[in-house]
Structure 1
Amino acid sequence: MKLTGREKSSLIFEGVVTVILLVLLNMAIITIIQDVIQSNPGVTNGIFMIKQSLRVGPLQTQIWSYQRILIIIFVIIDIWVVWWRLRRRYHLYQMNHIIAELHYIAQGHLDHRIPFRLKGNQQNVISSVNALVDSAVKSMDDERKIEKSKDELITNVSHDLRTPLTSIIGYLGLIEDKQYQNEEDILKYTHTAYEKAKQMKNLVEDLFEYTKVQQYGAPVNIMRVDLNQLLEQLTASFELEAQHRGIEITSKVIPNPLMIEADPEKLGRVFSNLVANALKYGNGASYIRLDARQKADHVVVTVANDGTPIPKESVDHIFERFYRAEASRSRATGGTGLGLAIVKSIVDLHHGSVRVTSNDDETAFIVSLPLKQVNK
């Protein structure tokens, strides 16, 4: 930190004034001491005897004089006092500069940080202030992101609900206005409205599940779960649909049984969403494999298929809510864009991680979960 010219002049002036005052004070004290000694013969004789006794060398050199001792003591004290006052004033100037920087930041310049590098408590103050501003800016950015996210959520939900709702109203309106030729037309219109209603129901259920797991402190019913049994039940539930699509679905767990601590309902939702995602979007797939293996204190579960790979530009965004790698394909299959966002939220609740790899040979979702849950 550099002092201004005015501060340097003030510092020099204070040093000069302090030296002058100390010299005058020293002279006054020495004069008083001399007067006391001269007016008291006993003290004078005592000092003379001490001086005579403190001689050294063959020449009997005198090494003691109370005037010299007083001057040395006063010089040491004066130097310390001058150093202390100048140091105190210098720290005051430092603090004034810090306060000026704080006022500048408080005026709205939140991208500014105090640039000084000082020593001692002043540097602790600077570091704390900079950290506090960083934290405040981060909180403001997070709040803006949350508000933007809420707006996007409302927009996306409104759009995704409006599309099937418009179809439902349209087809039911045709029936209401008797714009049909025969009973076959009525069945066609009602079936389409029914399918669109199911699409709306799926969206509402996914949205409810997503908001539930996103809430802070969302309840997790932790218990001992046999992962082999859970995955076998899951493959059995999707087996008929997989056979209909010409896909072989299998599960493999090592070791067997493999016990982990988790919420069985939520964990089942994770792998159910991953398998459903593979069935919907793994065009041309011949297999879906669920593979779980224990590694040290965690378990790695891989849900893989050999269908159409995920575009490279979509891999980094695949777990974002309402994100669709191919929007047209998602609409055709009735996807809500929330399935993988729910997967990530549930895995986060279990203090785990999830990632995806995709190439021409295979697309794999890799879930890592701790064997034992620890409160965090």
Structure 2
Amino acid sequence: MNELPTIPEQNAAAPDVVPPAVPAQPAQPGQPATSAAESFGELLQRPLSKVVIGFLLLFAALAWSTHNRITNLRYDVARSLQKGDATSNETSALARQVQEQTKELQAKVGALEGRQAEAQSQQLALEQLYQDLSKNRDEWALAEIDQVLSTASQQLQLAGNVQGALIALANADRSLSRTDKPQFITIRRAIAKDTDKLKALPGIDMAGVALRLDNVIAQVDTLPMLSDHRPVAPSELARKTAPASGKPGAPGPNAFTTGLQQVWTSWTGEMWDEVRQLIRVRSADTPEALMLSPSESFFTRENLKLRLLNARLALLSRNEAAFRSDLIAAQDTLVKYFDTRARTTQAAQATLRQVQSNNLAIEMPTLADSLNAVRTYKAKP
């Protein structure tokens, strides 16, 4: 293979040739000595020096440009970090909210699964019970009464279904009365005792309260809001202030004067009404309620409806805390965003106060006496 020719280095060993010494020229009298400025000028005239200086200037320009870019980049990075911190905080808040909602949903799902498992176990127990029942009519009737009372007791504790429990007790007593056997007297006495307990509970007109809430929900769209008020149209003012026309003036020399007086009165009345419409002083605890856009007003009404619907659901499930919380929130919304001087709003507030006066925190009795009496009789040999 052909080898590349080697380039001799500049510092390679060269024949030791010593240039002849140039004798120093003595300074001629009258010849001025070269100054530093002239030396620098001669240095600038050299081509290599010009190139070096050009590179230095170019390097300085690049350094200055790089410095500016780095500074701008720092500012951009700082702004991005600030935006990222704000976004991270919002994301963290949303994540915490989602976690809380997830925990609540998991708790509800767990409760539903527990109830479903309980219902399934009861169903399996009922099926097994029916399979193991003998042909004895009394045992079959007692098993049916036990299941009915168990279901009524669960409905009474979970949903406060007093009427359902009373119907179940009445059906059980009716089934036992058909057999007409003295050994069932103890069970019927326990059923009568539980029936008296349920009848002694303070009555709550659930249907009536729910109907009042439905009426308020239906009126939400017609309730006047603080942001709905607008100045009266000039045409309406003209109709209010215009004198009665079509009546002939009184004959006589004062007809012209009377006409001028009527025209002047009409003009001054219209001007005064227009001036009154320019400035309107109203007191509002929340100034933002006066500046709601149509879409915000729509969503405010929808939120009020949702609050009332939640209160209705809490009423039917006898959830005292949720019932009162939703009613208080609905009343606060009425006071904050709606015109409380309007009769319809005042009527809605009165209805909500009347609904809120109902006490749902009633401790429901159990059907333990009847269930224990039935199960004790079944356990006898």
TM (norm. structure 1) is 0.31
Higher relative contact order (Cα pairs below 8 Å, separated by 6+ residues):
2
Greater share of helix: 2
User: Which protein shows a greater Rg?
Assistant: 2
